[in-house]
Structure 1
Amino acid sequence: MNICDQIYLYKYICPDKIAIKSENESLTYNDLNISINMIANGLLSKSIREGCKVAILLNNSIKFLEIFLGASKAGWTVIVLDPKWSSKEIDYVLEKSKPELTFTEDELVHRVDFNEKSMDLIIVNKKGGRKEENRNLNDFTDWVIRNSKNNPQLKHDNPILLIGFTSGTTGKPKGYLRSHETWFESFYSTNYEFGINFNDVVIAPGPLVHSLSLYAAIHALFIGATFYLVDKFSPHKLISVLNKVEDSVIYMVPSMTHSVIDCIKKDRINFNPPKILISAGSKWLKSSKNEVKYYFEGVKIFEFYGSSEASFITLLDPKGNNLKPESVGRAFKNVRISIRDEEGNEVGVNEVGKLFVSSNMIFSGYYDDQLEAERIIKDEWLEMEDYAKMDDDGFVFIVGRSRNMIISGGLNVFPEEIEKILLTLEEVEETMVTGILDKYWGEKIVALIKWKENQQLHFNEIKAYCKKYLSAYKVPQEIISVKEFPYTNSGKIARGKIDKKLSKERLK
């Protein structure tokens, strides 16, 4: 079972149909399959053993998708590296996962000292006139043209498609395993719930290194649709793309949607809205949804709630959005939901408990940490970190998130990681980082700081300092100075009390 088997059929069903399109390039299904085969055969010529891994450190490009699918067809497991990560984070993932080969690009190759690592390196857009010390470095064009265009014959099936890395509770990236089979299940459920089909043009303007955009792209190709690739998100660029495409389907996090609306309002731009808007990453405020409905006239809005480990959990469809916009919707197709108390017993209607999920879309475990997977998956039920309640109609409402995680702009941020950096400033005595509801970001990262006597830094100084050690999306967006923190009986900062107070103040 391989996700590329279905894509291969379109070489015969619709060879000249555009599979992937970007601003300056397009690729038919015939050409896409040739490229996939050449990359797969190149990898198989290196090794046919089971369990081989390849890393991708690339910005958005058609080559990213070709390499992902070529590796998948070869039965290699793909590791996706985020160019926005710090060099330390990239190095940590490479050391932990130990891929046999890494695809990267000229402007990113020096982010990591690949000479110290026993892996081959292939540069996708290698520029001339520069000498390389790495003997294992290859130019992508030179490498790929040596490989056969024929459909490769695999000697084994590798069930693991992808190792995705998401920040763990300590802020260090944690690898979750995704199989071909779970993506098949997700594809079928997506077809049922969203009604995306062969004739659609699918757009996901976020980075392909994030699961939402990568999933949207591969699902579009799986059903024979056209995927329109946006190299880098900007509201003006996205509006330009939408105005070229009729009846598009778009995947976005709320912060992107609000950027588009702000752009339309400010510049009075003509806008051709998509026919379907699929939102994920963070919950919209009700007022924000009304604004989206106004400016995205006639659009069908779908919001889904999920996680890297669980995939899809619930869906708030257009009807549900009108009935109960504050909820995260009902259980997704082929998903079972259970809300339980601390003893593991199911709670009653509208009672709060820990959320558990069961489906054939659940992940296959954590890379190099099977004990943690066994802790949260028992009897086919995955224990989530969220607390929730369910009403009489089956609508789920998320009440709180354990372990203090912030979701800002659709990205997971752990406050402990930011606090650790802030506490290295000699002017800071104590700090607590939290997220507050924001119509643009979903949650805005706010740092509360108790300063040492007669010492205080300007907000811009703090931002500049944090950017040295943190990815840009983890940098605080607001600073609040406090004289004292409230504490729990155990002497820890009382996060719950502070969050409650901040929420009340912002709602006034």
Structure 2
Amino acid sequence: METLGQLAVRSAHAYPNKIAVKDDKRSFTYKEFLARANALAAFFHASGFRKGDRIGILMSNRLEHIELDVAVALTGLVKVPLNYRLHPKEHKYMIDDSQLSLLIGEKNLLDTVDKTVPFLYMNRDFEETISQFTGQSFVEKVDEDDLFAIMYTSGTTGNPKGVMLSHRNIIAGALSLSQVCEVDYNDIIGHVAPLTHGANFLSHVAWLFGLTQVVYNKFEPEEFLDVLVEDNISVLFLVPTMVNLMIQHPKFDASKLATVKSINMAGSPIAASKLQEALDKAGNIFVETYGQVEAPMCITMMPRNEIHEHLDSCGRIGVFVDVKIVDDEGNEVPYGEVGEIIAKGSLVMQGYWNNEKATNETLKDGWLHTGDLGKRDEFGYVYIVDRKKDVIISGGVNIYPREVEEVLNLHKGVKETCVIGIPDDKWGESVIAFVVPNGREEVTVDQLIVLCKENLASFKKPKEVFIVDELPKSSYGKILKREMKTQHEEVSK
């Protein structure tokens, strides 16, 4: 296996006149793109930054994300992408924890952060830097096991943890994605999800094939479908929330997806009924992957030719990882039984930055303990049951929130759901459900209770159902169950 820098340089030499990256205002050929990345690499070296130093990136979706990936890869530096939707206090924690040498980004974002490190502002300063160093380059000796990125977790259970990903980890993920998304040399990759997270893993696929990448800075379902047609996009990464917004939009037009070969859905689970609706409306263009930042994207993979037959599965085990499903003692459980999903292989992180305790708790004998509960059938398909920490224990019996959510999502008037457990003096915990209507059909609490009675054992039925306008989500689109519990506590006082 090689390094990301080597892959990008090879593509640039093979396709010098092909468009490498573009947005709504600019485009650069591979020759121009590599020249800009080389200039950045020369600037980093001239500024005294050395292999292993951390470079922070704080900006909205821009093509500079992709240029900086190459510059960092060539110089052996380590990029630290910061999600621009987070609070400045969260940014400060990550900046301090990762001990950045430089922070690059948009002025309106950088100026909200305490200036404890040097800044390089986007646009004028950034472009002047490239102009100053154009024609120069610097390449460090980099190994595939050297660190490429520190990517912070969402921090839903405490401070975010910095996941250390090597060139090997990233390339293993890219090769896996290229397989499940059926990528070939004629594809054009579109990025509308944040390039600080899942979309960035798909970005690296382009360097395997010399593909064009198009960067979008906002997602408006109707407008986005129009630009997909204009830009001839064939491969995308979308979180399930985006897919739902797109297919449930009143003006959704499937013909505008004519150029799209595959949409990789990942980042959070999607209800089987919502997935079926997406397939019915948009066609057989969806693939599904399951992973974590700690094992990017492809612990399991579900190709588009199988997804319609396995709506409740996240696919079979990926090509660069071994997977086991184990009990609390670490013993592998039989097919069909629920246990924790653990993974090992080239896809799995090196550990958590500056956090030996968390690393030792999560990586045991090289096995990543995901914290996800799942099961596997005799054909190798994996099924995510729930997060281990989200399991509701009522009367001594385990209830998996996702099972209840799947039933609630059967109602055609439901947009999305969230099921949590709250303390109960008699049973230990009770099941509470929150439901967001989609506006297409009336949704009542009585209807939802009847639906649960028809499809669930009595002890699994929600004690209370609340119909709400929206669910709190992280900047990556994940529902924040911790906030739902807090909201319920306040309502119940």
TM-score of the alignment, normalized to the shorter chain, above 0.5? yes
Q: What is the one-letter code of the residue matched to 1:165?
A: Y
Shift of 1:148: 4.5
Residue 455 of structure 2 is matched in structure 1 by none
Asked if residue 125 in structure 1 is aligned to residue 123 in structure 2, the reply is yes
Q: Which residue number in structure 2 is paired with residue 491 of structure 1?
A: none
- Quick check: 1:275–1:300 contact (8 Å CA) kept in 2? yes
* Residues 3 and 142 in structure 2, CA contact (< 8 A), matched pair in contact too: no
- Partners of 1:48 and 1:155 within 8 A in 2: no
> 1:278 corresponds to which residue?
264
Deviations 1:165-221 (A, max 9, x none): 1133533221110101111222222233332122101113111112x1111122223
1:53 is matched with 54
Q: Partner letter of residue 8 of structure 2?
A: I
TM-score when normalising by structure 2: 0.78
Given residue 289 of structure 2, which amino acid in structure 1 is its aligned partner?
Answer: F
Return closer, same or farther for 1:341/1:477 CA change in 2, 3 Å cut-off: closer
The aligned counterpart of 2:411 is none
> 1 CA distance for matches of 2:201 and 2:50?
27
- Residue of structure 1 equivalent to 2:447: none
Distance 1:253 1:189 in 2: 18
Structure 1: distance between partners of 2:185 and 2:434:
40
Shift of 1:155: 5.2
Are 1:198 and 2:185 counterparts? yes
Tell me by how many angstroms 1:149 deviates.
Answer: 2.5
Distance 1:156 1:392 in 2: 42
Distance in 1 between residues matched to 2:12 and 2:253, nearest whole Å: 43
Cα 1:230–1:373 change in 2 (3 A) is same
What CA deviation, in whole Å up to 9, does each residue of 1:259-284 have, x standing for no partner? Answer: 22233x33768523412121111222
Structure 1: distance between partners of 2:127 and 2:79: 20
Residue 194 of structure 2 corresponds to residue 207 of structure 1: yes
Percent identical across equivalent pairs? 26
Deviation at 1:334, TM superposition (A): 3.0
Alignment equivalent of 2:149, drawn from 144, 152, 162: 162
Does residue 171 (structure 1) correspond to residue 158 (structure 2)? The answer is yes
Q: Is the 8 A contact 1:189 1:334 kept in 2?
A: yes
Amino acid at match of 1:300: I
User: Do the aligned partners of 1:163 and 1:176 also contact (CA within 8 Å) in 2?
Assistant: yes
What amino acid does structure 2 have at the position aligned with 1:50? K
Structure 2 match to 1:64? 65
Q: Secondary structure at the match of 1:315?
A: strand
Unaligned runs of 5+ in 1: 127-138, 420-431, 441-458, 486-508
Equivalent residues of 1:106, 1:125 under 8 A apart: no
User: Secondary structure of 2:104's match?
Assistant: strand
Alpha-carbon shift at residue 247 of structure 1 (Å): 6.2
Structure 1 Cα separation of the partners of residues 28 and 133 of structure 2: 19
1:317 corresponds, among 299, 303, 310, to 303
1:84 aligns to what SS in structure 2?
A: coil
Are residues 1:256 and 2:256 paired? no
Maintained 8 Å contact 2:36/2:134: no
Q: Which residue number corresponds to residue 87 of structure 2?
A: 86
Give, in whole Å, the separation in 2 of the partners of 1:141 and 1:484.
55
Deviations 1:327-370 (A, max 9, x none): 11111123221111222211111111121112211001001012
Measured at CA, do residues 145 and 336 of structure 1 come closer, stay the same or move farther in structure 2, by a change above 3 Å?
Answer: same
Residues 1:266 and 2:267 are matched in the alignment: no
Name the CA shift for 1:223/1:177 in 2 (closer, same or farther; >3 Å).
same
For residue 349 of structure 1, what is the aligned residue in structure 2?
Answer: 335
Instruction: Give 3-state SS (helix, strand or coil) of 2:334's partner.
Output: coil
**Closer, same or farther: CA 48–270 of 1 in aligned 2, 3 Å:** closer
Is residue 305 of structure 1 aligned with residue 290 of structure 2? yes
Paired residues, number:
426
**Alignment check: 8 A CA contact 1:193 1:333 kept:** no
Aligned with 1:266: secondary structure? coil
1:123 counterpart letter in structure 2: Y
State the superposition RMSD in angstroms: 3.4
Give the Cα–Cα distance (whole angstroms) in 1 for the partners of residues 274 and 146 of structure 2: 41
Tell which deviates more after alignment, 184-193 or 226-235. 184-193
**Counterpart check, 1:387 vs 2:373:** yes
Distance 1:151 1:472, change over 3 A: closer
- Encode CA deviations 1:48-92: one digit per residue, 9 max, x unaligned: 533211100111111222123212221110011111111111111
Aligned residue for 1:7?
8
Whether the 8 Å CA contact 1:252–1:279 is kept in 2: the answer is yes
Separation in 2, partners of 1:240, 1:484: 45
Q: Is the 8 A contact 2:222 2:251 kept in 1?
A: no
Matches within 5 A, 1:86-485: 86-114=87-115, 117=116, 119-126=117-124, 139-154=125-140, 159-168=146-155, 170-210=157-197, 212-246=198-232, 248-263=234-249, 265-266=250-251, 271-273=256-258, 274-297=260-283, 299-311=284-296, 312-404=298-390
CA gap 1:288/1:42 in 2 versus in 1, 3 angstroms: same
**Residue aligned with 2:204, SS:** helix
Residue 438 of structure 1: CA displacement?
6.9
Gaps of 5+ in 2: 392-400, 406-417, 423-429, 439-467
In the aligned structure 2, how far is the partner of 1:395 from the partner of 1:267? 32
Deviation digits for residues 448-489 of structure 1 (CA, Å, limit 9, x no counterpart): xxxxxxxxxxx99x99xx99xx9696786896589869xxxx
Q: Structure 1 pair 434/229, CA: closer, same or farther in 2 (3 Å)?
A: farther
1:403, distance to aligned residue in structure 2 (A)? 2.3
**In 1, Cα distance between the equivalents of 2:160 and 2:79?**
16
Pairwise CA distance, 1:93: 1.0
Instruction: Provide closer, same or farther for how the CA distance between residues 484 and 87 of structure 1 changes in structure 2, counting only shifts above 3 A.
Output: closer
Instruction: Output the CA distance in 2 between the equivalents of 1:439 and 1:77.
Output: 43
